[in-house]
Structure 1
Amino acid sequence: MKFRRRHNEEPEINLIPFIDVLLVVLIFLMLSTTYSKFTELQVTLPTADSQTMKDRPAEIIVAIAADGRYAIDHQAVEGRSVDLLTTALQQAAQGRPDPIVIISADAATPHQAVVNVMDAARRANLPRLTFAANKPRE
């Protein structure tokens, strides 16, 4: 009997099929992935730092409280509908040549309340709008 020592060969890992599979998966992921860009609006709100006007045109001041109540030229408007605001703005604009509507809203006012005033001004044929702002603190 002949006893020989066997040479144990280390098993070899063939990497070529592994790399092929990884490349196929990579190509599949690249083709099937949709790239969507999430855009953001970079908004820098302006501050009002101007001199007072010398000639003041006809102004209609619309004040909006934090809870959505309206006052036009210091007169409270009953109700919050656009139709009521339109009639109140038309009455306030009578006898004033080319008036400017100044929207003075509280910081906590709902956005819809401001949009309602803008819509009412458009319906009342008052195209000149502006917003009141505080002078920035130094």
Structure 2
Amino acid sequence: MRIQDHRAFDEPEINLVPLIDVILVLIIFFVVTTTFDARSVLKLQLPQATGEANDASQSLSVLVNADGRYFVDDREVLRDDLESLKSTLAEVAGDDRDRPVLLRADARTPHQAVVTAYDALGQLGFKRVMIATAPQAATPPSAPGTPP
């Protein structure tokens, strides 16, 4: 009687299922952590003005970056036309038109982008619109008799 050894025919194999599970967990981790850092990507240089600060904790935030792109709270408006901005504002704000709106526009933003944002807010019925500014830099006092 001839007894065959089946161990010689077994080929080693690598089970890929645990590796795929680990890769999917890593992908989910990176996707979730990158969404938390969305606000730090937007670097705005606000125009300077004097005045007192307002509490904007409950306000709707509309950001316009230097390229004229719009961001409503945490959502980016995909196109820069008036209708896209209006639809995004309506989705984020819902029916609350008495909510104050804080418009944050970069100092290098084209003026047309800011006017478009004001136009969209006005057409939707928002009446309490504030514009964010940075405090004006302190200038050293000039000597008496010299022009400022």
- TM-score per shorter chain, which class? 0.5 to 0.7
Say whether the 8 Å CA contact 1:102–1:130 is kept in structure 2: yes
Higher deviation after alignment, 73-82 or 94-103: 94-103
**Aligned with 1:104: secondary structure?**
strand
Rounded Cα–Cα distance in structure 1 between residues aligned with 2:75 and 2:59: 14
**Aligned with 1:98: secondary structure?**
coil
Q: Kindly provide the amino acid, as one letter, of the partner of residue 118 in structure 2.
A: M
Q: Kindly provide the amino acid, as one letter, of the partner of residue 123 in structure 1.
A: Q
Rounded Cα–Cα distance in structure 1 between residues aligned with 2:48 and 2:137: 13
Change (3 A) 1:107 1:46: closer
Name stretches of at least 5 consecutive residues in structure 2 with no aligned partner.
1-46, 139-148
Aligned residue number for residue 137 of structure 1: 137
TM-score by length of 1: 0.58
The number of aligned residues is: 92
Q: Kindly provide the amino acid, as one letter, of the partner of residue 82 in structure 2.
A: V
Aligned residue number for residue 109 of structure 2: 109
TM-score by length of 2: 0.55
User: Identity percentage over the alignment?
Assistant: 29
More helix by share: 2
Rounded Cα–Cα distance in structure 1 between residues aligned with 2:110 and 2:54: 28
Q: Kindly provide the amino acid, as one letter, of the partner of residue 83 in structure 1.
A: E
Written as runs of structure 1 = structure 2, the 5 A alignment for 1:1-138 is: 47-53=49-55, 58-94=58-94, 96=96, 98-138=98-138
Name stretches of at least 5 consecutive residues in structure 1 with no aligned partner.
1-44
Rounded Cα–Cα distance in structure 1 between residues aligned with 2:97 and 2:121: 15
Rounded Cα–Cα distance in structure 2 between residues aligned with 1:48 and 1:87: 33
Deviations 1:3-29 (A, max 9, x none): xxxxxxxxxxxxxxxxxxxxxxxxxxx
**Aligned with 1:99: secondary structure?**
coil
Rounded Cα–Cα distance in structure 1 between residues aligned with 2:63 and 2:131: 10
Change (3 A) 1:47 1:77: same
Rounded Cα–Cα distance in structure 1 between residues aligned with 2:124 and 2:97: 14
Rounded Cα–Cα distance in structure 2 between residues aligned with 1:52 and 1:103: 13
Q: Kindly provide the amino acid, as one letter, of the partner of residue 49 in structure 2.
A: T
Deviations 1:2-56 (A, max 9, x none): xxxxxxxxxxxxxxxxxxxxxxxxxxxxxxxxxxxxxxxxxxx982332553xx5
Change (3 A) 1:91 1:135: same
CA displacement at 1:118 relative to structure 2:
0.5
Say whether the 8 Å CA contact 1:87–1:124 is kept in structure 2: no
